[in-house]
Structure 1
Amino acid sequence: MSGIQAVTDPASTPVTATTTGAVPPDTGARTEAAAGVITDARARIDDLDGRIIGLVQERMAVSAVIQRERIGSGGRRVNLSREMQILEHYRGQLGRPGTALAMTLLELCRGRI
């Protein structure tokens, strides 16, 4: 593995960086080693984003089942007390930005009310 050196990111997960060639300009890094860490970390973020999107799509499908059953049984499309629980949960776990994230998820899963 000549030309490759191990670099450790803040989470102590080994990543690699090439030790030859120019620093990729799109990373914002000033060294090749930092550019390698950034490139590898971005690949991990892209993977996480793909998984998050898949989970959101799964959540949307489950929410559609709940809405269909609720409406089919004579209930309302939206259960506001349940939505408040979800908003509190996200805010408790992620702080104020968690509320905005939860609102976006709720809107995706039930549409605007």
Structure 2
Amino acid sequence: MSSTTTSTTTSTSTSTSTSTSTSTNGNTATTPAERTGARTDEAAALIGGARERIDTLDDRIIGLVQERMAVSAVIQEARITSGGRRVNLSRETAVLGHYRDALGKPGTALAMTLLELCRGRV
């Protein structure tokens, strides 16, 4: 019987933490507007849906970065095995230019991060 009570308590605790969040000033936000910083429930609903979409996009981006890292590892292994260097600087320069052209100056920083992730460990 006590395990049933514990299970119920755990379930209640989980649902409570899902429906509330703590704001930067330490207050507990309980309404959708408070959780999103919106002034109306309508705006909060829009923001909530958009945030879910961003979370989905972030998951896809992370998956693509992981895939890029795996492909890069295959390329590096082939290059090293054939007697070449692990990094091809002219290729990296082309990647930096591609991201800069598509996204502006912040694109260069993003490309640098991707290249660093994809270089692997020495």
TM-score by length of 2: 0.72
Q: Which moved more, 1:81-90 or 1:103-112?
A: 103-112
Offset at 1:25?
A: 1.2
Residue ranges of structure 2 left out of the alignment (5+ in a row): 1-30
Conserved in 1, the CA contact under 8 Å of 2:80 and 2:86? Answer: yes
Q: How far apart in 1 are the matches of 2:32 and 2:78?
A: 56
| Amino acid of the structure 2 residue aligned with 1:31 | T
Structure 1 stretches of at least 4 aligned residues deviating more than 6 Å after TM superposition:
none
1:53-94 CA-to-partner distances (Å, cap 9, x unmatched) read: 000000000000000000000000000000000000000000
Name the structure with the higher strand share: 1
Q: How far apart in 2 are the matches of 1:94 and 1:112?
A: 28
| Amino acid of the structure 2 residue aligned with 1:80 | L
Q: How far apart in 1 are the matches of 2:72 and 2:48?
A: 36
| Amino acid of the structure 2 residue aligned with 1:100 | A
Structure 2 counterpart of 1:28: 37
**Residue pairs, 1:71-86, within 5 angstroms:** 71-86=80-95
| Amino acid of the structure 1 residue aligned with 2:104 | G
Instruction: Look at both structures and tell me which one has the larger radius of gyration over its CA atoms.
Output: 2
Offset at 1:24?
A: 3.4
**Paired residue for 2:97, among 73, 84, 88?**
88
User: Number of paired residues?
Assistant: 93
Name the structure with the higher helix share: 2
Residue ranges of structure 1 left out of the alignment (5+ in a row): 1-21
Q: How far apart in 1 are the matches of 2:55 and 2:101?
A: 26
Structure 2 counterpart of 1:13: none
1:105 aligned onto 2:82: no
| Amino acid of the structure 2 residue aligned with 1:73 | S
Offset at 1:23?
A: 3.8
Q: How far apart in 2 are the matches of 1:23 and 1:81?
A: 50
Q: How far apart in 2 are the matches of 1:45 and 1:26?
A: 16
Q: How far apart in 1 are the matches of 2:106 and 2:121?
A: 19
